Amino acid sequence: MDITKNDMCPLPMDRQIIHSCSDLIECIQAVGFLPLLESGIRGFSAEALVDDECRYIVYPDGGWDWPLWRWKGPVVTEGGCVYGKFFSGKAGFVSLEWWPDFCNWRRHAYPMADEDSDEGALAEAILDTLRERGSMVSRDLRKACGLVGPKMRSYFDSHVARLQMACCIITQDFVYPRDRHGNEYGWGLSLLTTPEQLLGHEASQCERSPEESRQRIEEYLHRLLPGASDKQLQRMVK
């Protein structure tokens, strides 16, 4: 890889640059924001930038491999970035360098509902449970919040998704079931936590106003992705 880390460096979307987990970490640090899968902006995702040999493959026996998918865990735990459903409800990475501004703007754009409302009470219950337990997978978190009745899963998931867009919940790691031989299998479950639990309170603090943070991010993305339309970039930021 030959990405130079600076605010004026455009993303080289005309070629594949990610060949390994360390390349992915380097790319995230260089560009600051990177959706995991297709983002609606040509070439602006880890999936689009990986080498062909790192893409999803199905073997004749029905097994499969996807290096990019396997790299998520090490990147989240070791890559100096934050991961969650941040981009129009789709998952992606934000570097720690950009996290304070991103968090500052998003918590303003997605304010908590009043605690007296059903939505506000549930949001507080979810966050309080994570603060108490530290981290939990979604299904255990839902049960801990008492949402075990019919149709509760989709109701709960929509609230967790909004809290991720608001930068109030992030992914700490991924949990995989194991077979009888002790081997991990499946797609994995996100281990959810709060930014304050994982990164500390100071990591989410920003000296700028929310609007200043939004403007700074938008200006940067315009330089990073000169071929993207205003509408496409606003969908990434909002």
Cα separation of 199 and 148, whole Å?
Answer: 30
195 domain residue, yes or no? yes
Whether 203 and 170 have beta carbons less than 8 Å apart is answered as no
Task: Provide the pLDDT for residue 232.
Answer: 94
Cα separation of 107 and 104, whole Å?
Answer: 6
- Starting from the edge strand earliest in sequence, which strands make up the sheet with 170-175, in order? 136-137, 189-193, 170-175
Per-residue pLDDT tens digits for 166-176: 999 999 999 98
Task: Provide the pLDDT for residue 150.
Answer: 77
Per-residue pLDDT tens digits for 144-160: 999 887 788 899 999 99
Task: Provide the pLDDT for residue 118.
Answer: 85
Cα separation of 166 and 115, whole Å?
Answer: 16
Percent over 90 (pLDDT), the chain? 69
4 domain residue, yes or no? no
Min mean pLDDT across 7-21, 120-134, 149-163, 190-204 is at 7-21
209 domain residue, yes or no? yes
User: What angle is formed at CA 201 by the lines to CA 199 and CA 207, rounded to 5 degrees?
Assistant: 110
**Mean of pLDDT over the chain:** 89
131 domain residue, yes or no? yes
pLDDT at 2 over 60: no
Tally of domains within the chain: 1
Length of the chain: 238
15 domain residue, yes or no? no
pLDDT at 12 over 70: no
Per-residue pLDDT tens digits for 40-75: 998 899 999 998 888 888 878 877 788 999 999 999
For residue 145, give its domain range: 21-232
b/e 202-225 (16+ beta carbons within 10 angstroms → b):
eebebeeebeebbebbbebbeebb
10 domain residue, yes or no? no
pLDDT at 4 over 70: no
pLDDT at 203 over 90: yes
What is the C-alpha end-to-end distance of the chain, expressed in Å? 30
| Residue 178 bridge partners (DSSP) | 184
82 domain residue, yes or no? yes
b/e 161-178 (16+ beta carbons within 10 angstroms → b):
ebbbbbbbbbbbbbbeee
Alpha helices in the chain (DSSP H): 21-31, 46-49, 67-78, 99-109, 118-133, 138-144, 152-165, 195-199, 210-224, 230-237
Task: Provide the pLDDT for residue 7.
Answer: 39
Percent over 70 (pLDDT), the chain? 93
